[in-house]
Amino acid sequence: MERIGVVLGRREATPLEFWVGVEGEGLLRLDDLVVVEGFHPKVGKVRYFGMVDLVAKAHEGESFDTDVFLAVQGKIPVSLAYVAHVSVTRIVPEEFFPPDPGSAVYLAREEDLELALYYDAMKNQRGSTKLPAGFLKSGEVAYLNLEFLNGVKGGHVNISGISGVAAKTSYATFLLKSLLESEVLEEAHQARVLLFNVKGEDLLFLDKPNLRLSEEAKEEYRRLGLPPTPFGSVRFLAPPKKGEEGILPDVETRLEGVKAYHWDLVQFAQKGLLPFLFTDKGALTNLGFLVAHVTEKLRRLAEGQKGPHLLVADWPGGELPEDITFDDLGRVRLTSFADLVRYLEYKLLGPETGEGEGDRTWVARQARGTLEAFVRRLRSSVENVGHLVRGDRKGNPPDPLEGGEQVHVVDLAKLSPQGQMFVVGSLLSDLFAKKERGQYRGRVFVVLDELNKYAPRDEESPIKDVLLDIAERGRSLGVILIGAQQTASEVERRVVGNAAIRVVGRLDAAEAERPEYRYLPTSFRQRALILPQGMVILHQPEIPVPLLVRFPFPAWATKREEVLEDNSAEALRREFF
């Protein structure tokens, strides 16, 4: 063991914290782990493990600030004090009496480091539960206890940080790589990932090797027990282009391997997806009730229908020419979302001529103002989701529980905010319902950025309700949320509070002072303001102090320019034939 100093006697030493005087040419830095041995005749030998959270140097012998100039010139005698504050992480055995001043302090390495960070306790009856999470400042591998992530003892991950420099998405995808390929997660081959791409097209190249991956980075992956390769089993889905007769994915940088997704009208009605168009249901007292009522009416209307069009039983035959108004209509086949909106307007408000009233079985005794507010919101949604909900083709909504691919990337980047809300809400509600019914036994990891938009603290929406369900009950069903946001202070408390693993990248100065980050010691909150890319602060329940962790450069491309092209004959055959 490398001796680094001694426990100071001038400052109090307690069972939970003490000060170290660094001796000679010793080097003690923030985040270094140390070990001290104490002894008491009644309990025997006790070992104290701790982490350095403050280091300082000062001249002893100076009385005034200007004395430093005299000291530099050698005109007054001074001594250089190099001290460090240590927060105790573990005492073995648990005998809570303080270490003696003058006790030798050593750097914790190998077995001592494992004891300091409880790595020795990260195991169950099947073996180790140490999940690689990156590297410590010392170069040692940092681990998470898998049981606090997979739902056994806890679940969910929350990542905070400034967009563009906090590496939220990069660390989330690295965690997925570790979960799926480290061989720590039980039955990892049955795990599924639903990954939402909310910005640009950065996540559409997860299956492509990164041109910028160095040999040094590859070696780091090997030290973590991970292959330095891209994700091997990925399906990419994107919304269809607007105004196209066919169904073509609306992407620009990736031209192959992406499929378009959409819902048909019967799926929209049968699955009860109407509420996810009304993200402001709290704006009107009765609007929420009306949305639920119409959703149920549509579900009954679609019973037994196979789609993709929706047949309206109370209108006698005929197609729907564009120049015919609703008072002239008979039975029709609805073939677009715009048709469905006009039908609902007719049922709620009556003929377009203004004569008569809506169908009483649909109106549910709601005031005219509430009905008109409902219809206005529906009309405005036609432009945003009309290409996502259609009656001209069989629906192909994303379903991470079907197919052979393990990772499903769902692109949202080009959708309007309402379109993004609709897709996220629809997919998560369907996924959670299937897991409740026991339709899939493997674990499902959901990765969603911009949680402050989908689960805002001060607003109500159907999507927020689904996310709360996942946060509070998901881990018992095997649904784990890996959520991210710039500002945790703007996200619903219960969504953030139910995350057992918390990760912080670079923070805004004002955000760092919010109560949501009080679990971080002051020194860590200060350092969060200057964290470089590739570094995060990691907090988990089993370790009483946060860890500063560095994770390796992505082995997968994060944009088109980073793709390492494979021009082999086999690769060309797969692409063109």
Decide which of 58, 90, 116 is a domain's last residue: 116
Q: What is the CATH number of the domain that holds 27?
A: 2.40.30
209 and 237 co-located in one domain: yes
At 354, which amino acid appears? G
Q: Where does a domain end: 345, 364, 390?
A: 390
Confidence at residue 326, expressed as pLDDT on a 0 to 100 scale: 43
User: Residue 485 to residues 134, 450, 451, 464: CA-CA distances in angstroms?
Assistant: 21, 5, 5, 14
Structural element, H or E, at residue 160: strand 157-160
Q: Are 373 and 486 found together in one domain? A: no
Residue 38 included in any domain: yes
Residue 316 is predicted with a pLDDT of: 39
- Asked if residue 77 belongs to a domain, the reply is yes
State residue 333's pLDDT score.
83
Task: Report if residue 145 sits inside a domain.
Answer: no
Are 8 and 53 members of one domain? yes
Q: Flag whether 235 is in a domain.
A: yes
* pLDDT for 300: 93
List the beta bridge partners of residue 556: 209
Amino acid, single-letter form, for residue 119: Y
Q: Which residue has the tokens 């190099």?
A: 82
Structure tokens at 352: 């377009």
Quick: pLDDT tens for 205-256.
Answer: 999 999 999 999 999 999 999 999 999 999 999 999 987 667 889 999 888 8
Contacts of 257 (CB under 8 A, 6+ apart): 207, 236
Same domain, 107 and 214: no
Q: Are residues 49 and 172 in the same domain?
A: no
> Do residues 326 and 252 share a domain?
no
Determine, yes or no, domain membership for 441: yes
| One domain, residues 352 and 278 | yes
Q: Are residues 217 and 285 in the same domain?
A: no
Phi, psi for 378 (deg, rounded to 5): -65, -45
Q: Do 231 and 285 lie in a common domain?
A: no
- Domain end among 328, 356, 390: 390
Structural domain boundaries enclosing 335: 265-390
Please give the pLDDT value at position 166.
Answer: 60
Q: Is residue 144 in a domain?
A: no
One domain for residues 367 and 450: no
Residue 142 lies in a domain: no
Eight-class DSSP state of 42? T
- What sign results for the dihedral spanned by CA atoms 305, 309, 314, 317? negative
Residue 148 counted as domain residue: no
Residue 78 burial by Cβ neighbours in a 10 Å radius (0-12, 13-18, 19+): middle
Segments in the chain below pLDDT 50:
316-321, 323-330, 572
Same domain, 278 and 253: no
CB atoms within 10 A of CB 509: 10
Collapsed DSSP state (helix, strand, coil) of residue 181:
helix
Q: Number of structural domains, the chain?
A: 3
